[in-house]
Amino acid sequence: MVVQGGIEAVKSKETERTYFTARTVNVPCTFNQATCEALIGKDFPGSIRKVEVESYDYTIPDTGEIITLSHRYEYVSETENIVKDNVIKKEFVL
């Protein structure tokens, strides 16, 4: 299932101009197509976060240009957001 977040204003690194975008992520699910279609326009508690990963090549569908990315997006539930934002890793505790 493809999940898309809200609109964000982003500044281009190359042109320094602001543009609008929405983060999109593919989330595995067990729903059939009819169920997925019924969920269009629904809100899910949570957000789509940018996650750093090992670099990989990506082909831009519209232009065929190949770029190297070092991130991906993933859906994080509201509960996971709270835990990630408030739990201190063991190695940082004195």
Q: What is the mean pLDDT of the chain?
A: 87
Q: Which residues of the chain have pLDDT under 50?
A: none
CB 72 within 8 A of CB 53: yes
Residue 78, domain extent: 2-92
In total, how many domains does the chain have?
1
Return d(Cα 51, Cα 34) in angstroms, integer: 30
Q: What is the 3-state secondary structure (H, E, C) of 44-85?
A: CCEEEEEEEEEEEEEECCCCCCEEEEEEEEEEEEHHHHHHHH
pLDDT at 68: 95
What is residue 9's predicted lDDT score, i.e. its pLDDT?
93
Contact 22, 7 (CB under 8 A): yes
